[in-house]
Amino acid sequence: MFRVGGLKRLGVVMAVAVALWANVAGVAVILQRPVAEPDAIVSLGSHEWERLPVTASLARRFPNAIVFLTLPTKVGLHNCHDCFHRVERLATLGVAPGRVRIVRLTSEGTHGEAVAVRDLASRTPFHRLLIVTSVYHTRRALATFARAFAGADVALGVEPAWPTPRAHPRIWWLYPYDRWYVSYEWAGSIYYALRYGVDLIGA
């Protein structure tokens, strides 16, 4: 049995561990990795209010890049909030509809998006792909695409789409949006590591 002093020390160690984890948990799931002159940009489904403006900005910056939009097998509010108006929304932001390709998924989630875009590469060749997704989703997204594209001659990068108002990764537990997304991503990251062998540390 622990003595009182031992229990106190254990409590202090646990408190410090929780504090350290809380301090890095929000930052750890964020990743930004540029790709020189991407010839393809993919905006992952859902959170269009965050992702489409960044996608459009990148498309204007790299006018020769094809723009991919993923389309879930079953469209819902939570997996593609504004699926059927995305091309028009991009057009209002300066991206010609002729540059946009819809990528239909055969399985759900980020894994389904990565596999569908990989399969598309054989029909619409590209060699430098930039992934656009919500800020807290960036590490898992890039790691998932890296797993799907293993062995392919495609350089991968990821660009975070910050929300408005801006996310707070260092004090994520203070804000509802950040609390939900950081918790969701840690759960998703563990699941993807176990289910798909995704290497989140090496991403």
* Domain limits for position 128: 31-196
Please report how the helices 176-196 and 4-28 are oriented relative to each other, as an axis angle in degrees rounded to 10.
90
Instruction: State residue 122's pLDDT score.
Output: 81
Averaged pLDDT of the chain? 89
Residue given tokens 């062998």 in the structure block: 197
Instruction: Output the six-digit token pair for 92.
Output: 């209002």
Compute CA distances 41 → 53, 83, 188, whole Å.
Answer: 13, 17, 23
200, 139 contact by CB (below 8 A): yes
Residue 100: partners with Cβ closer than 8 Å, 6 or more residues away: 67, 68, 69, 86, 87, 90
Rounded distance between C-alpha atoms, residue 28 and residue 66, angstroms: 30
Residue 39 makes CB contacts below 8 A (sequence gap 6+) with 62, 64, 65, 66, 126, 127, 128, 129
Tell me the mean pLDDT in the region 23-48. Answer: 94
Q: Where are the alpha helices (DSSP H) in 4-161?
A: 4-28, 48-61, 86-92, 109-120, 138-148
Q: Count of domains in the chain?
A: 1
Q: Which residue bears the tokens 């537990």?
A: 173
Tokens read off for 31: 């990743």
pLDDT of residue 24: 87
Residue 37 lies in a domain: yes
pLDDT of residue 17: 39
Assign 50 a pLDDT band (cuts: 50, 70, 90).
Answer: very high
CB burial readout 87-108, b (16+ within 10 A) else e: bebbeeeebeeebbbebebeee
pLDDT digits (tens, 9 = 90+) for 138-190: 999 999 999 999 999 999 999 999 998 899 999 999 999 999 999 999 999 99
Would you state the pLDDT for residue 11?
A: 41
Domain membership flag for residue 45: yes
Across 18-37, average pLDDT = 82
> What pLDDT, on a 0 to 100 scale, did the predictor assign at position 4?
52
In the predicted model, is pLDDT for residue 82 greater than 90? no
Residue 137 lies in a domain: yes
Percent helix, strand, coil in the chain, to 5, is: 50, 15, 35
pTM: 0.89
**pLDDT in the model for residue 14:** 40
Whether residue 14 is contained in a domain is answered as no
57 or 19, higher pLDDT: 57
Q: Identify the CATH number of the domain in which residue 85 sits.
A: 3.40.50.620
Q: What is the pLDDT of residue 22?
A: 63
Q: Flag whether 54 is in a domain.
A: yes
Q: Classify residue 19: in a domain, yes or no.
A: no
Q: What percent of the chain is predicted at pLDDT more than 70?
A: 89
